[in-house]
Amino acid sequence: MEHREVSTEKGMPVETKNTNKSFKSKPVIPSVHQRKELLYAMAETGADWIMLKLGDVNTLPQLVGHIHRFGKKVMVHQDSIKGIARDKMGIQYMANCGVDCVITMKAPCVKYIKEAGMFAAFGFFVIDSDACRSGLANIKEQQPDVVILMPGTIPRQLVREIKSEATTPIILGGLMTTAEQIAGAMAISVAAVATSNPDLWNLET
């Protein structure tokens, strides 16, 4: 994979990844909201990605470093890290911290995430037909590396339809609390399921 350098505010070069490879993940992605859960996700699971939903502008570099030392990649939700602007500069800061993938609900941010050398994950809530049409239009226009559909419990036929039109890896997230739900999701060939239930983080499908 090709790499390039991005300068931080202090002028120190930070290596970031060129995302010319497709997004790949093991079936279950731990969605982590607390530090004690993070240690378990890092040390006791076979996951290759961790969805980080804790921390702030000051602690993010340390958290990312810890996760990388355990050989795992970091997926950060743009709205979950306190003190980081939801704009191009905030995205570049996350790249400088070593974040591997940024989840955004703002379609225009997909471009900035990709330009910063990270995987761009576009997430949207499938609450009705209008939301589905709008989400698909944004996917086709912005071309994210991966799409996150929420909640993960939406009808499987609808997931199939979105998959066929988006031609982009799909992650299901939100309200995925049982092994049966995850097995059902994997049966329709989604890329992964994100769950905050630690009992499911080592689930083999």
The answer to whether residue 122 sits within a structural domain is: yes
Q: pLDDT tens, 121-144? A: 999 999 999 999 999 999 999 999
Average pLDDT over residues 34-44: 97
Residue 47 near residue 27, CB atoms below 8 Å:
no
- For all residues of the chain together, what is the average pLDDT? 90
Q: Is 4 a residue whose pLDDT tops 70?
A: no
Q: Is residue 6 part of a domain?
A: no
Q: Is residue 176 part of a domain?
A: yes
| 82-91 confidence digits (pLDDT tens) | 999 999 999 9
Q: Are 146 and 168 in contact (CB under 8 A)?
A: yes
For residue 9, name the pLDDT band (cuts at 50, 70, 90). Answer: very low
pLDDT of residue 19: 45
**Residue 49 is assigned to a structural domain of this protein:** yes
Structural domain includes residue 2: no
**Any bridge partners for residue 149, and if so which?**
124, 172
192 falls within a domain: yes
- Kindly tell me the sign of the dihedral angle through the C-alpha atoms of 72, 139, 148, 166: negative
Can you give the pLDDT at residue 18? 44
Q: Write the DSSP symbol of residue 200.
A: G
Residue 10: the pLDDT is 35
* 179, part of any domain: yes
**pLDDT given at position 20:** 58
Q: Residue 122's domain is classified under what CATH number?
A: 3.20.20.70
Q: How far apart are the two ends of the chain, measured CA to CA in Å?
A: 29
The structure tokens 């471009």 sit at 111
Note the pLDDT tens digit of each residue in 10-38: 333 334 454 456 899 999 999 999 999 99
pLDDT-above-70 percentage for the chain = 89
Instruction: Measure Cα distances from 37 to 21, 28, 48, 52, 142 in Å.
Output: 29, 15, 15, 10, 33
**What digits encode the pLDDT tens for the residues 141-181?**
999 999 999 999 999 999 999 999 998 999 999 999 999 99
The answer to whether residue 165 is domain-embedded is yes
Q: Give the chain's domain count.
A: 1
Query: In which domain, by residue range, is 60 found?
Result: 24-199
